[in-house]
Structure formats: C-alpha cells, structure tokens
Structure 1
Amino acid sequence: MRQMEENMVVRQFLDRVCKQVRTRQMHPEIREELLGHIEDRTELLMLEGLPEEFAIQEAVKQMGDPGDIGKSLHLAHRPQLDWKLLAMLALFLIIGLVGMLSVYYGDERYSVSLVERKLFYFGIGVLFLIGFYFLDYRKLKKYAAPVFFFIVILMAVSLVYGQLHNMRTAYINIGHIGVNIITFSLIPLLLALAGMKPASQWGRWETAWNILYRGVLPVVLYSISSSIIYTYIYVIGFLVLTWRTSNSMKQFVMIAALSLTVLLSFLFTQTDHLLFRWREFMNPSANEMWYMGNNADAIQAAGWFGQGFGQAAPKIPYVLYDNVFPYLIYCFGWLFGVVVGVLILLFLVRLWNISTVHKDPYAKHIAALLIVVFGFRLLWPLLMGLGILPKVTLDPPFFSYSGMNQILDMAAVGLLLSIYRRKNMIPSEVGEAAPLKAA
C-alpha cells in the first residue's frame, strides 16, 4: 500500500468511489489511478506552500464528488451486450428457419418432425448461448489442454468405431442422436489451442512436440476422415494462432513449413478426388457434373425476387445442408442473396472488431480463430452455391438444418458475447496497459 493511501481522508475517498463500481476486479486499478492523481495534485499544492496534511485534503476535494466519480467509472466498466452481433445472429437464425419451412411446405417428402427437431435444437442452442454469455470466458483457459487431448482422442475413437445406421462413419451415437465428431471437433480444438501455452514460450524440444501434437496430429486425423475442407480450416487456424503468438519469423516459418508439408502430403493422396472436383467446377453444365449445374440453373431461374416461399427445390441436392444458399436464392431472389452476403460480411467484420477492442490476448485469440471458422463456413458455401468456388461438404452455420453443430455454433457466439461483455471489465495488466480516465 502506498503511504498516501494510509491517509484517512484519501482512503475514505477511494472507498466511496469503489463502492459505486460493481466490477470488483477493476477496484485495484481504479484506486491506483485515482491515487496517482491525488499525489500529483498534492505535490503541486505543497509547492505553493500548503502543509502536507492540508494539501492532501485540498487535493481530494479538487477531485470532485466520489459518488459521481464512482458512478461514472461504473458506467465505463459495466458489462455490455453486443446488440449488433446478437441482431445479426437473430437474422441468420430467422432466415434459416424460414428456409427450412419453405423446404417443408414445398416438398412432401419432409415430415413435421423436421420443424420440431429444428426448433428443439434451436431452443437448446439459445440456452447454451445465454449460458456462455454469462460465463467468464477466462475460466475456460485452464481447461484448454485437457479439452484438446479429449477431442483428439474422441476423433480417433470415432474414426475407428464410429457408425450411423449400421454404416461405418465418423458419427458417435449419444442416445438417439448421432454426432459427427469430425465436424463437431473443429471449434473445440481451435478454442483449446487459444488457451494453451503460446508459441513464444516454447523451448526447442517443446516446439518439436507441439508441432507434432497440435499441428500434425489433428491434420492426420482430419485427413483419415477425408475431410479436405476441415483440414484446410484447422491448418489455417493453427497458422493464424502461431503467427499471433510466435516470438520470431524464423519460428513461424519453421512451424508453418512442417504443417503445410503434412497438408500437401494429404492432398497428394486425394489427387483423383480433387481432379474430379476441379472438372466439376470448370464444366458445371456437363451431364455428369449435375451438382454444380443444377445449382447454377436454379440461381439463374431465381430472378431478382425469386420464385416465392414454399417452392419445391428444382433438383438442388442437399437443400437443408450444403446447398441451403442456392435454394434460398431460388425462392427469394438475387436481391435476397446480396442482402445475405452483406450480412455475412458484416458479421465477420463484427467479429474482427471484437478481436481489436479487447485488452486480453486470450480473448483476441478466441475471436481471431472464430473469424477463421465462421469465415470459411459461411463464405465458402455461399460462393460455392454461386459457382465461384469448387464443391465441398460444408453446411453453413445458423442457416442450415443441423443439430449438435447448431448448438455448438450458438455456444461459440455466446462466448464472443461473453468476451465483448467484459471488454471494459478486464484490468489493463491482463493485456496492454490502458489509461483509466476519471470523470
């Protein structure tokens, strides 16, 4: 404790200020900042000839009413809700629900259980979003390493023992629900990476181990599952985090080179599949390339305002999953597609803003990795539906009919809301120093 703070008048002033600020973790920083102002004013008054005790009392008096200062600081450090992000999420979910209802009314093959299941997962997702919003995201950091290990083991188990409807897949059955562990694993793995020991703190042997454990092993598991796009996303997320946490360009280049070598080795084993996708992409009108061609025909027939709600999908495959965007454009038109594209870009820009306004490096890393995940999963299906990118198996979050993945995606948004909620509640010593302004 500073000697100045032992003064009764100063201590009472600081106590009355902090009494108004509910964010207790900010109290030490507030006291330190205000104490510095009082000391500076006291020194000036003593230079003018006032005795020390009278100078302290006058300096405290000049600070202003402690109640008003405390209320002002409380407003500056109170929890905040990111209404813009929440509004965009709500629009995404509404669009996804309307699209699913349109499929239900337009195709008699789908039953009412389609709507019921969508609403069920939507309700569970809302609960997870609220739960993660009120959760202090910093508490997750200590579980990062165990979560990463558990997810890797779960991926390996699913590749060996996974099945769905008596068929060998990457699904693991949880009761009556089948969970695709490969698609489910992406967000937990990358968020766990964000909380683990950064590359700047790795030693020589530790660097080698972490490259193999964090970089190579997940890529191998994704490769065995033949999930090309999830392999891409994980590698890019891993490299983005390494870039942000490495202590030198040399270290980053070494880590990136090995990771990309493993990725290229995997792609070499998928040459035939990649060539087929490329031919399909380059010649979507060919008879054997029905997937891209049907999407193009549907979008071309949409017009500016679409064919209307409840239209049967014109040979568009997987309208509830990978091709939800071509179907939505077919029903509601090119103008609607432009609006959705702009909303997606605004959503990603909002995530970027969250990563820049926070002082906590852990929060910044989480937001950066979720930009990678949501950026790929939203933009690729949209551009794929428009024929700009090749076909991959990747259903967009929030828009598509999905179960556990929808819950996980909404939990991830809840985590982003938790980060934004605490952007003014984190002491500056956690991240970069930030000056505290008193009213």
Structure 2
Amino acid sequence: MARSILTNPAVAAYLDTVCAQVKAKAVHDDIRLEIVGHLEELVSEKLESGLKTEEAVAEALKAMGNPVEIGKGLHAAHRPSMEWNLIGLILIMVALAVISLVAVHASDERLYRSGSVFVFGACGIIAMVAIMFVNYRRLLRLSWPLYWGTVLLMALTQLYGVEINGSTQWIVIASIGFNVFHASPYLLLIAIAGILHLEKKRDVHGKGIDRITVLLRNGIVLAIIPISLYIITSSMAHMLIYVLSVSVLLLLSGNWRLLLATGVSGTVLFTVWQMLNPDIHNLLWGRVNAYIHKNPDAIYQTVKSVEAIRSGGLWGQGLDKEVVIPYATSDMLFSYLVHSFGWVFGAVIIVSSLLMTTRLFKVGKKLRDDYAKKLVIAVMAVLMVRMFWNILMCLGWIPVIGMEMPLLLWHSSGTVIEFAALGLVLGAYRRKDMVSNSAPIQYQV
C-alpha cells in the first residue's frame, strides 16, 4: 500500500509541499513516513466505503488538511533549540573565572598576566559558540581518526615535545603551546563516544566469536593503549581523569561487559608496570600511605590548603599575597579563592559545579540520538571528575595528584578544549529535534 501511495502524483506533491516548509532536512524522511502512515489508514477506510483508488486518495489528502499549514507546524516542532539553563550555568562559571583570574593575578603577577589568560578564555568562548552551530553528527565518521590522531599526538609529544616543570606534555609550534595530555581525556572520550555508538549498531548483527573479538579489541583500544601512554609519560593525574571518565561513560551507557573488560585490562597493565618499576611503585604507594596516616611532612600541600580554607571565614581575608598555599595559582586555586573571598564564595563554586554536572546529565537524558547522548555523557564525565577531584583534594578529603579546576582557570590551550567540548553539548541539544530517528550510520574502523 505504501509503495502505491508514494507513486501517486498527488501524494508526492502533497509530501513535497509539507517538507518544503521544514528546514531541518534530516527529518524529511521521518515526516514522509509518518504522513504516509496516516494516509494509508485513511485511504483504506475510503476504499472500504466503495470509492475508487484515485477518489480515495483525494479524499484522504483533503482530510489530512492544508499541507502548508501542516509543514509550518512541523517546522516549529523541528527547529533548533537552545539549552538556556546550561548556558546560564556556563555564564556563571565564566563570571567566577573572571573573579578567579583577578585573584590569581593579584597573587602572582609574574605567573599570570591578565591579558594572555583572557585571550585563552575569549578563544574558548568563541570556539564554544562556533561549534554549537556545527552539526555534531559530522564528527561521528571521524571517531576512529580522532582516536588514533590523539594517540599519535600523545606519542609524538615524547619525541618532539617540550619539557615544562619536569614533564613532557607540551607541543610548541611558532611560540604557541598546546598541552596534549591536558586535552587528551576530552579528545579520547569524544572519540570513544562515537566508537561505542558505532559498535552498538554493529552488535545487532554480531554473534559469538564476533562479539568476543570486538570486546577484546575495544578492551585494547579503551584501556591498554591509552593507559600505556599515560604510564610511560608518568601522567598519573591525566590517566586518573581518563580512567574514571571512561568508567562513567561505560556505566551510564549500560555497557557492563566492556566496563569489566577494560577494568581488568587496565588493572593488570598497571600492576605489571609497578612490578617492573619498583621505584615508581614505592613512590605511588608511599604517597597513599602518607595520606592515609596523615604524615604532615608528606602531605604539606594538603595541610596548607586546609589551613587556608579554615582561615577564610564566612567572607574571606582579602587578596593576601603573603598567604602560603603551594600552587595557589593552579592546583590549589579553590583553596586560595576560599581564603580570599570566604566560605560563601567556595559554596557558590561547589553548587555551580554540582548544578552544571546535573544539568549536563539531564541534557543527555533529553536527547533521542544515542550518539548525542554518549557525547554529552563523555563531556560531563571529564568535567565532573576534574571539578570534584580538585575540590575534594583542596578540602583534604582525597590525595593531591596535580589536577586543576576546569573552566575557572584560563591559562592554556586546554581552556579552549574545555569550552569547545561544551559547544558540542550545546550543539547536540540544539539539534535534538532536527535529527532523524533513522539516521544512517557510517561504519569505519
């Protein structure tokens, strides 16, 4: 019946008129299928009443209504949407960042010159707005290239990178530095979101040995390769961000088998590496034991951070250059801000971080497209891990591992990556009603 109706010139003209009013071309096929389904029912009723086919089709089209008006109504339902709640939270974080930058600049003018850091922030916000208007699904076909490109960039950093503060994580081109390992969790998680989406579609047809092969391959891709690179470069903080973020993504995606496979693979790899490197093993577990037993000499940074927070009071002590907080302009920024502006300001940061994480989770739940959901979860996971580990370690509740607060500290190209990732989220939400339910999947390995 559907084929005969679609070949009818009157029906074809009707569908074309409806779709002409809808600018979101991706949903045209869905609209056609939906209208044809209603027409089939109406035509069947008319045929049963004794009308001929052409008459039945004409009566059915008349009963459907004016195609222009229907098209306009569908256009209103499928036009871009803005997630104003999330945008509002981002603006709050930007305002907090500006205040933080002023405080950091007052603390150490040599390390942070206000002009350069505002350039990073401005570039990040521009990138966020630009990416918001790009069709995020174009990134799906680039999932595997993005993954391998990030892995290759991480490896090349060790060969051609620049050592800063004893760690080779930067690539500098024409005096412009890019912290590859700071950006790597975002890039890898965005790539893995696409890879998982592609594998979910492929698993429908995979059976037995094929599923086991895919599971093993993904275990290598998600665990062995990235963790090996983090271990070789001693990027423990970034490895922790990556591992926890991937775990959140797999957990919320319901991929229990892959979560188990990557967990076992990563644990075995990390254990073997420690056995082969006893000095690193002693250093890592020495720090853990020092934190557990609260050795004041070994947790000096934590002690000073907690002292600064306690001395902040309700409204803070002002921009005190004499206060001793190790890494006050980086890892312990939260501690310095609470000391300077008080517990109320610290509560604002914590509540804003909680609200942003919650909002990102809710945005993900609202999206129909599985790929969009995974993208949002991936971005949420990285931001959530970095935000709350930083806050908790400043409070002295978990060990200090060198993890900076995202979005509040504008000091490198990593800031641009953070805002760009949020642009992907806003773009996914913007197109939530413009994506076909039967969007084609392009497989790529």
**TM-score, structure 1 as length reference:** 0.88
Instruction: Give the match's secondary structure for 2:3.
Output: coil
Which residue is equivalent to 1:329?
338
Which residue is equivalent to 1:74?
75
Which residue is equivalent to 1:32?
33
From 255, 264, 289, give the equivalent of 1:257: 264
Alpha carbons of structure 1 residues 380 and 164: separation in structure 2 relative to 1, 3 Å: same
Which residue is equivalent to 1:231?
239
- Cα deviation, 1:3-34, whole Å, max 9, x if unaligned, reads 11333433333222212110011111101101
C-alpha distance in 2 between matches for 1:42 and 1:206: 47
Whether the aligned pair in 2 keeps the contact of 1:305 and 1:332 (CA below 8 Å) is: yes
Instruction: Give the match's secondary structure for 1:408.
Output: helix
Shift of 1:222: 0.3
1:167-178 equivalent positions in 2, closer than 5 A: 169-178=168-177
Instruction: Give the match's secondary structure for 2:39.
Output: helix
Alpha carbons of structure 1 residues 423 and 94: separation in structure 2 relative to 1, 3 Å: same
- Cα deviation, 1:91-132, whole Å, max 9, x if unaligned, reads 112211211112323x3x415961101111112112211221
C-alpha distance in 2 between matches for 1:381 and 1:324: 9
Alpha carbons of structure 1 residues 194 and 55: separation in structure 2 relative to 1, 3 Å: same
Alignment of 1:361 onto 2:384: no
Which residue is equivalent to 1:120?
119
Q: Which moved more, 1:284-293 or 1:127-136?
A: 284-293
C-alpha distance in 2 between matches for 1:342 and 1:134: 29
Residue identity opposite 1:61 in structure 2: K
Alignment of 1:286 onto 2:296: yes
C-alpha distance in 1 between matches for 2:43 and 2:298: 84
Number of residues of Structure 1 aligned to a counterpart in Structure 2: 428
C-alpha distance in 2 between matches for 1:313 and 1:51: 92
Shift of 1:79: 1.2
Alignment of 1:379 onto 2:380: no
Q: Which moved more, 1:238-247 or 1:389-398?
A: 238-247
From 270, 274, 277, give the equivalent of 2:287: 277
Shift of 1:431: 9.0
Instruction: Give the match's secondary structure for 1:218.
Output: helix
Alignment of 1:295 onto 2:309: no
C-alpha distance in 2 between matches for 1:150 and 1:48: 64
Shift of 1:253: 3.3
Alignment of 1:420 onto 2:398: no
Alpha carbons of structure 1 residues 193 and 212: separation in structure 2 relative to 1, 3 Å: same
- Cα deviation, 1:284-319, whole Å, max 9, x if unaligned, reads 6825532111111111111222224x3436211222
1:76-155 equivalent positions in 2, closer than 5 A: 76-105=77-106, 107=107, 109-111=108-110, 114-155=113-154
Whether the aligned pair in 2 keeps the contact of 1:17 and 1:69 (CA below 8 Å) is: yes
- Cα deviation, 1:254-287, whole Å, max 9, x if unaligned, reads 4432222223444665433334433553466825
Residue identity opposite 1:138 in structure 2: R
Whether the aligned pair in 2 keeps the contact of 1:280 and 1:289 (CA below 8 Å) is: yes
C-alpha distance in 2 between matches for 1:118 and 1:40: 63
**TM-score, structure 2 as length reference:** 0.87
- Cα deviation, 1:216-272, whole Å, max 9, x if unaligned, reads 02101101222223222323344455567798x656534432222223444665433
- Cα deviation, 1:162-194, whole Å, max 9, x if unaligned, reads 323696622222221333322222211221222
Alpha carbons of structure 1 residues 328 and 278: separation in structure 2 relative to 1, 3 Å: same
From 388, 391, 402, give the equivalent of 2:397: 388
Which residue is equivalent to 1:20?
21
C-alpha distance in 1 between matches for 2:51 and 2:322: 85
What is the Cα-based RMSD across aligned positions, in Å? 2.8
Which residue is equivalent to 1:3?
4
Percent identity for Structure 1 against Structure 2: 29
Shift of 1:423: 0.9
Alpha carbons of structure 1 residues 265 and 232: separation in structure 2 relative to 1, 3 Å: farther
Whether the aligned pair in 2 keeps the contact of 1:163 and 1:172 (CA below 8 Å) is: yes
C-alpha distance in 1 between matches for 2:308 and 2:165: 35
Where does structure 2 lack aligned partners over 5 or more consecutive residues? none
From 320, 323, 333, give the equivalent of 1:314: 323
C-alpha distance in 2 between matches for 1:39 and 1:407: 52
Which residue is equivalent to 1:436?
none
Alpha carbons of structure 1 residues 6 and 288: separation in structure 2 relative to 1, 3 Å: closer
- Cα deviation, 1:7-64, whole Å, max 9, x if unaligned, reads 3433333222212110011111101101111221222233344444333333222223
Residue identity opposite 1:57 in structure 2: A
Which residue is equivalent to 2:178?
179
